[in-house]
Chain A
Amino acid sequence: MNFFGFGRRRSSAPIARERLRILLEHERATAGQKDLMLVLREEILAVIGRHVAVDPEKVMVKVDRGSTMSTLEIDIEVPNVEMRLVPA
């Protein structure tokens, strides 16, 4: 940053530091473990599969990892013909 620093863009290093902090926190916590997202996907699909036939290719999983919380978005195409609930 120079003496005539007005008009200069906001520094980018704090953004880089924050991005790395969130990422590494997550990677260190999950090192050597089975990916939680894979486990959740398998189990959620298994539950739904008890009621309807789901094509594994019609399942989209999205994740957004944050510092205090993450979001998991699972988009499943359920065929209409099988919508009746099977009694347990």
Chain B
Amino acid sequence: MAKVLVVTSGKGGVGKTTSTAALGVALARDGQNVVVVDFDVGLRNLDLVMGAERRVVYDVINVIQGVVKLPQALIRDKRIATLSLLAASQTRDKDALTEEGVAQVIAGLRERFDWIICDSPAGIERGATLAMRYADAAVVVTNPEVSSVRDSDRIIGLLDAKTEKAEKGERIEKHLLITRYEPSRVARAEMLSIDDVLEILSIPLIGIIPESEDVLRASNLGSPVTLSNPASAPARAYVDAARRLKGETIEMTVPADKKGLFDKLFRRRAA
């Protein structure tokens, strides 16, 4: 049965789009039929992170307005056959995203895919609430930093109030994904620890993504980190998170890059 997953956070810049792309690739490489959907109408970026920016013809608003049918707007990934993208529109009015329209698009996607991963815009306005509206599960992306944790708390409240599942009295599955985590700074008590964040937000942890230069490199290349460098620490963390989403039990660790002696001697000073 298809599963609709919203990747959300409240705060901008914490890694929603990066995580949508990385999880989408990880699930698709695992043989799942996956579509990643950009809900950030007016400011789309998932196409760029997925490396498909030159190939966008139609978007989700075109589908809602009936200009094209859903299959015509889906962009098949050139590298992974089981992965597709549905882009957000770049120019059109935000109000073009309607509740009925989103319901219809999600229903159409449910017939075609195992996973529908919705990349939410930042904020708590219409775009964000519509992205989560029909979700079965949510990945709340949080940085170990005060404003991000606070905004995640707001979003968790919205998930429990504004989603269709919540309104029907059902529980929406919520998972915490901590990104940009730096163990060395936590050790020096400069950064909130995993336990601190978990204690405050009290939703189950799905993964811990370490801060890494590989993530920036991946968006530069337009190739999600789970595709461009699967052996890297963040990619392994995303793959583990994707497997947990599928229901597998995997021990929670913070993958680390193996560092050579030179790195240890010289790069610490530079950091």
Contacts and interface: CB of A to CB of B under 8 A. Distances in A.
Contact of A12 (B55, B67, B221): B221
Interface size bucket, B side?
A: 20 to 34
A4 B266 CA distance: 10
Contacts of B55: 62-65
Interface of A: 2-4, 9, 12-13, 15-16, 19, 22-23, 27, 31-32, 37-38, 56-57, 59-66, 70
Interface in B35-82: 48, 53-58, 67, 69, 71-72
B219 interface: yes
Contact of A66 (B54, B57, B221): B54
A21 to B, nearest CB: 12
Given A64-B55, A66-B54, A32 B220 contact: no
B230 to A, nearest CB: 14
Contacts of A63: 54-57
Main secondary structure of the interface of A (DSSP, over half): mixed
A52 B260 CA distance: 67
Nearest to A26: B54
B57 A16 contact: no
Contacts of B217: 9, 12
